[in-house]
Structure 1
Amino acid sequence: MTDPQTGAPADAAPRLDPLIEEAAKKAAIAWLTPGGAVWCLWIDGALFVVSGPDEQAAPGLSGAATATVTLRGDHGGRIVDWTADVSAVTPGTEEWDAVAPQLAAKRLNLSAAEDTVARWASTCVVHKLAPTGALVALTDGSGAAEAPATPAARRTKSPFRLHRVKRPR
């Protein structure tokens, strides 16, 4: 049976939005709700995050079934917000063996990737954030914070000039 709108099989995984994929491939940091700002790596259609002792904290991520992921550009502007299904990657599985060494290779300030993967297997959690296909709509259009109130109401003085400039006649 096929989906009449997309022509894809009805039981197929949701189609990945190209904006999510492109932004995630370039992202080194993602903002998660719950979880906060974390370093991450995009591998085979999902975002992977490591948290635990001697690694980054991602509060609330371990108990969450879903998370909202925000990806930003080089200059801090929000590119896309999307919903992800959260699951833990189990050490010793085929997925772990494929993902953990890639994460360790991208981890900054490491001396030995093999030791890191073994440490992660015993003390940390590798989370997989798989896109559900749903983009999160912006609530206020821009995502910008409101400007704080200020008592400034007068025009500022003109800048100081050291020399008087003569006007041509």
Structure 2
Amino acid sequence: MTEHLLGRALVEEATKKSGLIWVRGGVAEGDGAPGAGDPSGGPGDGRALWHIWHEGAAHVVGDGPGEQPLPGLRAGGSAEVTVRSKDKGGRLVAWTATVTELEPGSEAWESAVTELKSKRLNATDTEGLRERWARECRVLRLDPVSSTTSHSDGSLAAPPAVSPATTRGAVPAGLPRLLLGRGRKRGRG
């Protein structure tokens, strides 16, 4: 009983303090580590999601235009969540969650959206955000079921998901000089 309570407290504190959580949807308990899978970002792959901790669970919003994708996360399903250290970036705790989709307009949805809206960075339409989320997005609640602090020895690092924002390629020839300031001398004015 004490171990369960300590695990729950670690999940809550670590998740509250982390800006991102890694979530892999559609897993059964003990089904492997989050982050595994191919880099295409398909269902079941680990994905970094911004979130809020509210009323004992993590809440995420997405699957709409301009919002984060939520692949593999289905109402009534389960998910594996990994929380990283804000200081060092290493895994602190992994936990299994049950996924619940909040009904737009419900008391739980309104409460979660109020918190999510306050943490949403770079929203293009802050005034109409609540209505757009109700119309076009899903708000999910991830309730912790079990947790573990033991991790596999291997790295769970994976290449970034393919997207227009991915910029893996050769470094431009002039970039090192620009960054290191080894260009021409600047005159004093």
TM-score, structure 2 normalization: 0.63
Q: CA RMSD of the aligned region, Å?
A: 2.4
Structure number with greater CO (CA < 8 Å, separation at least 6) is 2
Q: Secondary structure at the match of 1:108?
A: coil
Given the alignment, which residue of 17, 33, 55 partners 1:44? 55
Distance 1:143 1:76 in 2: 15
Aligned length: 133
Query: Does 1:65 pair with 2:77?
Result: yes
Residues 61-95 of structure 1: CA deviation (Å, up to 9, x unaligned): 13661101000012210000001010101111111
CA contact (8 A) 1:27 1:41 kept: no
> Which residues of structure 1 form unaligned runs of 5+?
7-13, 147-169
Distance 1:64 1:95 in 2: 16
Task: Give 1:145 shift.
Answer: 6.1
Q: Secondary structure at the match of 2:105?
A: coil
TM-score, structure 1 normalization: 0.70
Task: Find the counterpart in structure 2 of residue 159 from structure 1.
Answer: none
Residues 33-73 of structure 1: CA deviation (Å, up to 9, x unaligned): 12511111101110001111220011111366110100001
Distance 1:17 1:38 in 2: 20
Moved over 2 A (4+): 110-114, 136-140, 142-146
Counterpart of 1:28, as a letter, is G
> Which residues of structure 2 form unaligned runs of 5+?
26-45, 158-189
CA contact (8 A) 2:99 2:140 kept: yes
Identity among equivalent pairs (%)? 38
CA contact (8 A) 2:61 2:138 kept: yes
Distance 1:79 1:123 in 2: 33
Task: Give 1:96 shift.
Answer: 1.1
Given the alignment, which residue of 131, 141, 144 partners 2:155? 144
Q: Secondary structure at the match of 2:128?
A: helix
Task: Give 1:144 shift.
Answer: 3.2
Distance 1:115 1:89 in 2: 19
CA contact (8 A) 1:105 1:113 kept: no
Task: Find the counterpart in structure 1 of residue 132 from structure 2.
Answer: 119
Task: Give 1:110 shift.
Answer: 2.6
Task: Find the counterpart in structure 2 of residue 28 from structure 1.
Answer: 19
Task: Find the counterpart in structure 2 of residue 105 from structure 1.
Answer: 118
CA contact (8 A) 2:93 2:149 kept: no
